[in-house]
Amino acid sequence: MAFLFPKSFPFCVEETDEATGDGTEYPFAMSLEDAMALYWINKTLIVEDSTVYSWTNIRGGGGDDSDCVATHSGSSPPAPLFSYWPDKMSEMICPPSPYYNALHGLSGVTTSTLTTMPISYAVYAILTHSTDIKRKGEDFFPFFTLQEGLNEGEYQTERTTVAAEANFSGLISEKVVRLIINGNTYETSLFVGGAPDDNRISTSLSGFVTITEGDSRAAE
């Protein structure tokens, strides 16, 4: 028998005037159908990163500045490295915590103008989503954040979809994150830069970080 629940979600979704959209923790204005699919159906999500990021590192103290173009191409395995998500839809009716955190290992290769050959790094992506949902009119905004860490040789690059958390040097943002649910694509910005104490000037960010449906939760 298919799982049935008398409401759209097992928590209240009320009209809100809080900040939603690009750069917030509620970036995607979804239809009710897609918001429900993200909450109930999708047990795992797959992250694919294919991006090119450029910056200048300011040496200072008489040292030569260095320009860097770092390209990363990789994807997460079919399932997260760890996850607290239930296997069945009926197990989703309890309050969200401690569910919804998933660490994805992005296997792939980083190439950089600061290195002479492609280097494989252990890159991470942390997704947190659907812990609660806001509504504005007919649009539903699921909680959704993405954090990534990439290593380009001697440099570390941090990325986030939440503007308030982007305490980076050389901050730059582009609308390169796309979430595909039920064949519909939702996009938001990725905020990218170096460690706060880096002396960095970012120049460009292109490509996509694409998040798609993975394994489905059992309808029971």
Question: What's the pLDDT tens digit per position in 157-175?
Answer: 899 999 999 999 999 999 9
Residue % of the chain over a pLDDT of 90: 43
Q: Which helix (H) or strand (E) holds 34?
A: helix 32-36
Dist. CA 110–CA 74, nearest whole Å = 9
Q: What are the pLDDT digits (tens) for 176-218?
A: 999 999 999 999 999 999 988 888 999 999 999 999 998 888 9
Q: What are the pLDDT digits (tens) for 91-138?
A: 888 755 545 556 666 766 777 776 656 666 667 788 888 778 999 999
Determine if the peptide bond prior to 98 is cis (ω within 30°). Answer: yes
Position 117 scores a pLDDT of 60
Residue % of the chain over a pLDDT of 70: 82
Position 217 scores a pLDDT of 87
79 has a pLDDT exceeding 90: no
Report, as an integer, the average pLDDT of 132-148.
94
Rg of the chain in Å (alpha carbons):
19
Q: Is the pTM of this model over 0.75?
A: yes
**Burial (CB count within 10 angstroms: exposed 0-12, middle 13-18, buried 19+), residue 182:** middle
Token readout for 6 is 């008398």
Considering only residues 86 and 40, tell me which one the structure prediction assigns the higher pLDDT: 40
C-alpha distances in angstroms, 22 versus 34, 101, 189? Answer: 18, 21, 6
Position 1 scores a pLDDT of 46
**Burial (CB count within 10 angstroms: exposed 0-12, middle 13-18, buried 19+), residue 190:** buried
Q: Which residues contact 181 (CB under 8 A, 6 or more apart)?
A: 30, 34, 37, 38, 42, 213
11 has a pLDDT exceeding 90: no
Position 122 scores a pLDDT of 62
Q: How confident is the model at residue 88 (pLDDT cuts 50, 70, 90)?
A: confident
Q: Give which of 71, 76, 85 is closest to 47, Cα–Cα.
A: 76
Q: In the 3-class helix/strand/coil scheme, how is 153-173 assigned residue by residue? A: CCEEEEEECCHHHCCCEEEEE
Give residue 196's identity as a one-letter amino acid code: P
